[in-house]
Amino acid sequence: MFETVSVDEALHRGTTHVVYPRTSLFFLSLVSPIFLRAADLIPLSYIFWGIPVGLLVTWLYWAVASTKWKVWAYDNVRNVHELQKRAIKEGIITSDGSFWDSTSIKSADDKQKLYELQSKFDVPDVFIDDLQVPAETQIFYSKRKSMFSLMMGLLLLLGGIVLMIYDQSIPGIVLIAFGGFLAFNEVQHLTSSRAQIIINAEGIETAKEPFRPWADICDEDVVTEQHGKSTTHNFVYSYDGGSEDIDLAPMDITRHALEHLLLVYRGRSEQKTKH
C-alpha cells in the first residue's frame, strides 16, 4: 500500500492507536493502586506511586507508538504537510525538534525510514476538493448553546435574588451580576440574525471585520488555547495591519469542521488563481 490512505483515515488511526491508549494507560495507572489497596493487595504507600508510574508508562507507550504511527502515516499519506499539522493538534505527535519529539523512541530502521520520508515534505500537498462543501458557508451563533447558557444565567440570577432575600448580600450581588451578564449576553446571541463568519472561495468576512480576499489573508487556523483548567478553540487569521481571533465556543460549528472548510476554500481559491 502506497499513498492510498487519506489524512482523515490516518488521523483516525493515530487517535485510536496512540491517543486513546495513552490516556487509558494513565487513567489505569492512577486508579489501579486504589483498587489494589481496597483489596488489601498492596500497602497504602503504594497508592502515591500512581502518578509517577502513570506518567512513565504513558510516556513509554507514546514514545514508541507515536513513532510507529509517524512512519506508517508519512509513508502512506500523500499530503504530509496537512497530516503533520493536524496530527500535532490532535496530540498524536509533537513538533519536530521539540523536547518531547527528542524523547520519542526510534529504532535504527525507524530513523532511516523517517529520514527517507523527509523528502516528501519538499513536495507541496495536492488539493482534493470536497464537493459536499457548498460555494459559501455562513456560521452563526448556536441557538442550542445559547439557550443552555441563558438558562444557566437565569438560574444564577434567581440564586442571587434568593441569597439577597436571606441577607447574603455580597454572594447575592456577585451571582446577580454574573447571571445577569450571562443572560443578557445570550439573549443578544439568540436574537442575532447576522452570520458571524462567512467563508467562500473568494475570502473571509466576519461580524467584526470586513471582507478580505484570500490573497490578503495568511495563517488562517483553528488554535487551541489553555486558560487555567479550561480550553478554548479560536478561529484566527492575519491580514496586512491586523488579525482576527474568534472564540468558537458559542458558534454552530466544530473546530474540525471549520479546519476542513478553511482547507477547501483556500484550495479552491488557489485553483482559480492557477487557471
- Torsion sign, CA atoms 147, 148, 149, 154: positive
Query: How far apart are the two ends of the chain, measured CA to CA in Å?
Result: 33
Q: What is the pLDDT of residues 182-221, one digit of tens each?
A: 999 999 999 999 999 999 999 999 999 999 999 999 999 9
**Which residue reads 487557471 in cell numbers?**
275
Confidence of residue 1 (pLDDT cuts 50, 70, 90): very low
Q: What is the mean pLDDT of residues 240-247?
A: 94
The values of phi and psi at residue 231, to 5°, are: -125, 135
The model's pLDDT over 106-149, given as tens digits with 9 standing for 90+, comes to 999 999 999 999 999 999 999 989 999 999 999 999 999 999 99
Beta bridge partners, 138, equal 198
Lowest mean pLDDT among 42-56, 61-75, 131-145: 42-56
- DSSP at 124: P
Residue 275: pLDDT band (50, 70, 90) is low
Mean pLDDT taken over the chain: 91
pLDDT band at 223 (very low <50, low <70, confident <90, very high): very high
- The percent of residues above 90 in pLDDT, for the chain, comes to 76
Q: Is 261 left (phi over 0), alpha (psi -120 to 50) or beta?
A: alpha
Q: Is 235 helix (H, G, I), strand (E, B) or coil?
A: strand
Query: What CA–CA distance (Å, rounded) separates 263 from 198?
Result: 14
Residue 262's alpha-carbon distances to 195, 205, 209, 253, in angstroms, are 17, 13, 17, 13
CB 196 within 8 A of CB 140: yes
| Residue 49 clears pLDDT 90, i.e. is over it | no
Provide mean pLDDT across the span 240-257. Answer: 95
C-beta atoms surrounding 86 within 10 Å? 20
pTM given for the model: 0.78
pLDDT at 39: 79
* pLDDT the model gives residue 47: 75
3-state secondary structure (DSSP) of residue 142: coil
Mean pLDDT of 64-73: 97
Give the residue among 26, 103, 9 at the shortest CA–CA distance from 63: 103
Q: Taking residues 229-252, report their average pLDDT.
A: 93
260 compared with 227, residue with greater pLDDT: 260
User: Is the per-residue pLDDT at 34 higher than 90?
Assistant: no
Which residue has better confidence, 274 or 182?
A: 182
